[in-house]
Structure 1
Amino acid sequence: MSRQKTDDDVYVLTRCDGQVVKSSFDCLDAPIHITRIYEGDREPTIKGTPCVPTYARKFNIPLQDLRGHEDRLNLQKHGFQYLKLSSDTYIHPNEDSNIGSYLEKVTEVVKAELNATEVICYDYRFRKNQPKLTKDTVYGVDGRKNWDPVSNKPHIDQTADGAPRRMRRHLSAEEIAKYIDGSDTWRLQIVNAWKPLVHPVQDNPITLCDYFSTEEKDLVTIEYHPTPQYAGEYYSLRYNEAQRWYWLSNQTAEELLLFLSYDSHPTQGVKYCPHTAFVNPLAPEDAVPRESIEARMIVISRISDWDW
């Protein structure tokens, strides 16, 4: 059974009357008893964990356009929302100075919108849809200077167990002592900020799943080791016909998408937001290949500052 919504305002998604398109995803193909899979060439943390996830294409998945309703969405209640962001800075993998200015602007916008005490951008990635681009990520700073391919596999960037490790990896000892190991007065979130770089995105836009249409059995933990010292985790998604997917047609560079990867204190019940790129059947044949930037942020706020 899908999760139940508890607030009438959450039903904004079910009231959307935008155009519905149908597309396909490469969803995880694993028996229901499998809850953890390892990918990589190092030893998994838990012995006996199956290796190498496999995927199966699911066709004719309906995706509802949010255009006209995007201003009514809220990160805490829906798992994603759109913000206005001026696009007066040219950013590109090779423009280091401009990237710094852009990330500073994004963190300031997110801090104000979420009433946060601290917002720490710990990573960013450029993505481009080009056929010859393969997944050969160089981790670390050099990897950020290359284009990553788009992903057509539904996933969530963090797991419930992996997110705290991720935060410990990027916070200082003082921040860990205060925000994680100290008193339980802090709300910690991992939030992604995504937008196209220049053109309104028609080619391989991003689609997002209503958290309340998912079930725990849809999720499988994928473990990976970017370094010998660190074990990362993300959730890959099994397909479930009850899942409801949404997208924003012709998203511009001035429309910043925020979506939730982790929340230590989900006040409205939403813990994360599954997402993926998809082949847009409405895209013209000469659509410009998608170019986008995604920033990943640790958002820290006082629980007492939240009244909803």
Structure 2
Amino acid sequence: METSIPYLAQDPIFNVEKPFDTDVPVDHIPGARASNHRNDERDLKVYPITDPDEWDLDRHGFCFIRAKTGLNAEDALTRKKEVQKDYWYEIEAILHERFPQYSRIESYDCTVRKRDPDFPANIRLYTKVEQPARRPHSDCSPRGAHMNLQRAFPGQERFWEGKDFDILNVWRPLRGPSNDWPLAVCDWRTIDPSVDVRINDAIRRDRVDENAILHFSANHRWYFMKDQSVEDLIVFRNADSFGKRAQGFHCSVFNPESNGQPRESVEVRCVAFR
């Protein structure tokens, strides 16, 4: 698939200023900036997954699981708070079966997205349903992983401080087969973290997170699942507590071959202890 990806540009400002972005309006604040990012838009190929079984979480940063789940699109879009715990339990059971090395798995976030028909031509801040994320990123850095847990499980630091854990995402479309703005994942073996990865402050309405963003490299190899169904789960590692394992850098990409309905998707973020 021929498409483009808006990498983070290598900018001299990062010698004196940490990268940051926000989803909070700042136009009313004199001198405020929503971000210090510049785009480095690159035309490239994203390759279709031909054999889902060949991808390994610890080598590539992502893998695929074929599994049935009970969450339907309408409930996810209209009753997320009421149904997310049941979905969390389903995802945790699927992960325990696939990854016996984890002694405990706790879900703590559920994000539902529905692409607006004018995305991304008319970029604006969406408040009700999140939009696809175009910038290639990992949802948290190793430091950001601890920040996630402090927010999700307040007052329980003794249960994770010094522990070996991963922050995993489980992503799937809500309706399928889906080809609209698919999730593309980058093979970790093609990333040089010392050069390609930049730590970023993600400023939200009620908090500051820390994630990681990619600079362009011609070595990167990107992949997507064509005709992804609701039973095709993409599992990727955002970070681990010690910063030593493969990460699943990802982004949504325009698919020029898609003529289906705007993509709807759901993703669960969880902590998995070893």
The Cα offsets for residues 27-78 of structure 1, whole Å up to 9 and x where unpaired, read as 1123267263122479xxxxxx99521213211x1222112x1022221222
1:12 is aligned to none
2:4 is aligned to 24
Cα distance in 1 for partners of 2:264, 2:217 equals 29
- Residue 212 in structure 1 maps to residue 189 in structure 2: yes
SS at match of 2:83: helix
Closer/same/farther in 2, CA of residues 217 and 207 from structure 1, 3 Å limit: same
1:197 is aligned to 174
Cα distance in 2 for partners of 1:254, 1:75 equals 18
1:129 is aligned to 115
Cα distance in 1 for partners of 2:171, 2:221 equals 20
TM-score (norm 1): 0.75
Kept in 1, the 8 Å contact 2:236–2:248? The answer is: yes
2:225 is aligned to 248
Q: Counterpart of 2:216 in structure 1: which amino acid?
A: Y
SS at match of 1:39: strand
- Residue 280 in structure 1 maps to residue 259 in structure 2: no
Cα distance in 2 for partners of 1:294, 1:154 equals 16
Compute the displacement of 1:107 (Å).
Answer: 1.6
Q: Counterpart of 2:159 in structure 1: which amino acid?
A: K
Kept in 1, the 8 Å contact 2:133–2:251? The answer is: yes
Kept in 2, the 8 Å contact 1:78–1:270? The answer is: no
Cα distance in 2 for partners of 1:189, 1:204 equals 27
- Residue 237 in structure 1 maps to residue 214 in structure 2: yes
Closer/same/farther in 2, CA of residues 161 and 89 from structure 1, 3 Å limit: closer
Cα distance in 2 for partners of 1:206, 1:250 equals 12
Compute the displacement of 1:222 (Å).
Answer: 1.8
Q: Counterpart of 2:48 in structure 1: which amino acid?
A: D
- Which of 120, 125, 140 is matched with 1:158 structurally? 140
- Which of 46, 53, 71 is matched with 2:37 structurally? 53
Q: Provide the alpha-carbon RMSD of the alignment.
A: 2.5
Cα distance in 1 for partners of 2:262, 2:203 equals 30
Kept in 2, the 8 Å contact 1:117–1:300? The answer is: yes
Compute the displacement of 1:135 (Å).
Answer: 5.3
Kept in 2, the 8 Å contact 1:207–1:245? The answer is: yes
- Residue 271 in structure 1 maps to residue 246 in structure 2: yes
Q: Counterpart of 1:64 in structure 2: which amino acid?
A: Y
Compute the displacement of 1:203 (Å).
Answer: 0.7
Closer/same/farther in 2, CA of residues 239 and 252 from structure 1, 3 Å limit: same
- Alignment map for 1:57-136 (pairs within 5 Å): 57-59=41-43, 61-67=44-50, 69-91=51-73, 92-96=76-80, 97-115=82-100, 116-132=102-118, 136=125
Q: Counterpart of 1:294 in structure 2: which amino acid?
A: E
Cα distance in 1 for partners of 2:255, 2:248 equals 20
2:131 is aligned to 149
2:265 is aligned to 292
Compute the displacement of 1:108 (Å).
Answer: 1.7
Compute the displacement of 1:271 (Å).
Answer: 3.1
Closer/same/farther in 2, CA of residues 120 and 87 from structure 1, 3 Å limit: closer
Compute the displacement of 1:158 (Å).
Answer: 0.7
SS at match of 1:103: helix
Gaps of 5+ in 1: 1-20, 43-48, 139-145, 302-308
Cα distance in 1 for partners of 2:9, 2:172 equals 29
Q: Percent identity?
A: 20
